[in-house]
């Protein structure tokens, strides 16, 4: 999704962040893990935390997913989007921090979050935003 947004709106990354969540979210009742994007073909669903076994960590965390074979590329793109699906909401106590694309985004997010979660760590990592 980030890549699609980047291609449509050059500065859109400034209004986005990638939230870091405590792994204990996997223990919330009803949480499900998918081995790829939940809306894609061939997706598998499994209860958390046992569902971590269906994740191909090498592909999910690969830096690149371009392939000469378009079918392989589509498959890997879907796997990169494996999900943890939490029912209802993720409690604020599970929020650890966020990654942002630039210093401007960092300042904006600190202004938003400082009163509700002062220990929220924000890290600039433009690489995660395809920059």
pLDDT tier for residue 128 given thresholds of 50, 70 and 90: confident
- Between CA 5 and CA 69 the distance in angstroms is 24
Q: Are residues 110 and 81 in the same domain?
A: no
Per-position b or e across 83-107, b if 16+ CB within 10 A of its CB: ebebeeebeeebbebbbbbbeebbe
pLDDT at position 12, please? Answer: 78
Q: Are residues 37 and 72 in the same domain?
A: yes
pTM of the full structure:
0.80
Distance linking the first and last C-alpha atoms of the chain: 14
Residues 54, 44: contact at Cβ < 8 Å?
Answer: yes
22: number of Cβ within 10 Å = 13
Q: Are residues 102 and 121 in the same domain?
A: yes
pLDDT in tens, 35-74: 999 999 999 999 999 999 999 999 999 988 888 999 999 9
Q: Are residues 79 and 101 in the same domain?
A: no
- Residues of the domain holding 12: 1-24+90-131
Averaged pLDDT score across all residues of the chain:
89
pLDDT at position 5, please? Answer: 62
Residues 94, 25: contact at Cβ < 8 Å?
Answer: yes
Q: Are residues 94 and 49 in the same domain?
A: no
């Amino acid at each position: 999704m980030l890549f699609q947004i980047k291609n449509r709106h050059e500065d859109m990354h400034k209004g986005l962040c990638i939230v870091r969540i405590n792994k204990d979210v996997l223990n919330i009742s009803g949480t499900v893990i998918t081995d790829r994007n939940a809306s894609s073909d061939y997706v598998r669903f499994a209860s958390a935390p046992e569902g971590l076994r269906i994740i191909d960590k090498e592909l999910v965390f690969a830096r690149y997913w371009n392939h000469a074979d378009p079918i392989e590329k589509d498959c890997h793109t879907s796997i990169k989007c494996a999900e943890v699906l939490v029912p209802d909401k993720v409690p604020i106590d599970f929020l650890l921090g966020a990654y942002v694309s630039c210093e401007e985004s960092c300042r904006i997010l600190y202004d938003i979050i400082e009163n509700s979660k002062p220990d929220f760590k924000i890290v600039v990592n433009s690489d995660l935003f395809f920059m």
